[in-house]
A = this chain, B = another copy of it.
Amino acid sequence: MNFNLTQIPERHPKPRKAGITMVMDKGLSVNEARNFMSVAHPHVDIVKLGFGTSFVTPNLEEKLEVYASYDIPVYFGGTLFEAFLIRNQFDDYIAVCKNFGIKYMEVSDGSITIPHTEKCGYIEKLTAHGTVLSEVGSKDAAHIIPPYKWIELMRAELSAGATYVIAEAREGGNVGIYRGSGEVREGLVQEILTQIPGERILWEAPQKEQQLYFIELLGCNVNLGNIAPTEVLPLEAMRIGLRGDTFHLFLDKATAQ
């Protein structure tokens, strides 16, 4: 971008379907969102307002306008969806999204238990109101889902109309597709990928080592989520081989010698 370097892998241009960076905004102020966008907008595809922080954020509309001015869709964290659902306020949730001009919606069951057909029903209903991301995986570390079940759930949710299925990692990166230590459950990830197209999965990968794992496995245009605003540029550099960790990944053999 700023200079010419050969052998830089090609990122899909925006707006893109794959190679997505989803950022978690846990309570930026309007000016902070402005500053963030001014430097990160070419590298950000979707912004999530983490869990229920949108409920307690002053000047929310003004912040949404900042993201809108960069054509970056915003959605509420799945925990907020679940908070409406468990209170029997599903219709209110739709109304709130409409009020705030929110056109991306997450359907998740990280904190609640609902029959899967019911979950798919919410996905289907919400597709009438916008783009749906559905999340698979529990926030409860003790609740282990076996690989065949991950695949079954993901497949059904995509069929129900989800544009992406999100592989849950929790904000700290320590449940779902990760072990308590934050380490990737590699066997699980690889088995999922035998059945579900990688471009339809958004891997939550808040930690650097997790981002690295997925870039090595799936290339620079892997979909990664729960990225902190301050980590967007470091991630972008890593995606294209300009960080120590991925330095040799995209070089041809003659150069890498």
Binding site for B on A (CB under 8 A): 1-7, 26-32, 34-36, 38-43, 50-60, 79-80, 82-84, 86-87, 89, 92, 96, 110-112, 139, 170, 172, 208, 230, 232-234, 236-237, 240-244, 247-248, 251, 255-256
Contacts and interface: CB of A to CB of B under 8 A. Distances in A.
A38 B63 CA distance: 12
B84 A5 contact: yes
Given A26-B230, A26-B233, A38-B29, A52 B242 contact: yes
B4 A51 contact: no
A204 to B, nearest CB: 13
A40 B57 CA distance: 8
Contacts of A251: 86
The quantity of this chain's copies bound in the complex is 3
A6, A30, A53: most-surrounded residue (chain B CB, <10 A): A53
Given A2-B60, A52-B241, 13 more contacts: A1-B56, A2-B56, A4-B92, A5-B83, A39-B57, A39-B58, A43-B56, A51-B243, A51-B244, A79-B243, A79-B244, A87-B255, A139-B244
Contact of A5 (B6, B87, B139): B87
Contacts of A26: 230, 233-234
A221 to B, nearest CB: 15
Nearest to A42: B58
A134 to B, nearest CB: 17
A82 B247 contact: yes
A26 B34 CA distance: 18
Contacts of A241: 52, 83
Contacts of A2: 54-57, 60
B38 A30 contact: yes
Given A39-B28, A247-B79, A242 B51 contact: yes
B56 A3 contact: no
Nearest to A28: B39
B27 A79 contact: no
A249 to B, nearest CB: 11
A58 B234 CA distance: 13
A53 B237 contact: yes
B42 A38 contact: no
B55 A87 contact: no
Given A29-B36, A55-B237, A242-B55, A5 B247 contact: no
